[in-house]
Amino acid sequence: MKEQLTHQLKDKTKRTETDKLLGKKPFVTVMYRWVLFIINFYARVRQQLKIDYDSFIIIQTTASHALYHLNKKNINKKEVESYEELDAEWDKIANSKSSIVETLENKEAANLSKLTISSICLVAGLPKETVRRKVNMLVKKGLLKSSQAKGIQIGTQYKKIFNEFVPVTAKDLVKMLKAWEKSGVLKKIINSDL
């Protein structure tokens, strides 16, 4: 009994600011809005894009690879700042006969930085055969393109995701964040040591 009481007392004193924040009532409302956002997001992946979530993660891993190289290229130039400018870059990348690195940087770095099925497996935490099968399906749909020499890249149909899915997701995210801000929890989260 004494041991149990000591253990409970230690647990109470270990509570951090984060624990206190997460235990407050407004956080329940915030968490509810977060869960609704995630449910809506997953449902839109399936309904609007007509692909499963693993395929969506593979596409986003491929897009993040392109964004990484785009950011690396523009680190000091600040060439791509707006939605429209990024849209133009996606076109350039998707329609290029070269690899993403050749398109944005230089040919010498291209072989070192192509995106492979193994790389996607590591990032997405999916089995290799699953990734291979889904990449092949996504290539057939034009959402990705793939070659031995250039690796896996976004395809010409990626614009559908970028033009239709991204703006709705951004609006939903802003709506959720405004609700968080209104409740006062957003400021608490930003200022906490999460």
pLDDT over threshold 50, residue 54:
yes
pLDDT given at position 110: 46
How far is CA 49 from its chain centroid? 16
Answer whether 133's CB lies under 8 Å from 71's CB.
Answer: no
Most confident of 80-89, 96-105, 111-120, 142-151: 142-151
pLDDT given at position 108: 44
Share of the chain above pLDDT 70, in %: 72
Instruction: Summarize the confidence of residues 3-7 as an average pLDDT.
Output: 62
What contacts 29, CB < 8 A, 6 or more positions away? 179, 183, 185
pLDDT digits (tens, 9 = 90+) for 139-190: 999 999 998 888 999 998 888 888 888 889 999 999 999 988 888 878 877 8
Higher pLDDT, 169 or 112: 169
pLDDT given at position 116: 95
pLDDT over threshold 60, residue 15:
no
* CA torsion angle 132 136 41 170 (round to 10): 110
Instruction: Summarize the confidence of residues 60-67 as an average pLDDT.
Output: 91
pLDDT range class, residue 136, cuts 50, 70, 90: very high
Instruction: Summarize the confidence of residues 3-26 as an average pLDDT.
Output: 58
Mean of the per-residue pLDDT values for the chain? 79
Q: Which residues of 107-129 are buried (b: 16+ CB within 10 A; e: fewer)?
A: eeebeebbbebebbbebbebeee
Number of H helices, E strands in the chain: 12, 2
Most confident of 9-13, 66-70, 110-114: 66-70
The pair of three-digit structure tokens given for residue 79, joined into one six-digit string: 């060439």
Higher pLDDT, 38 or 81: 38
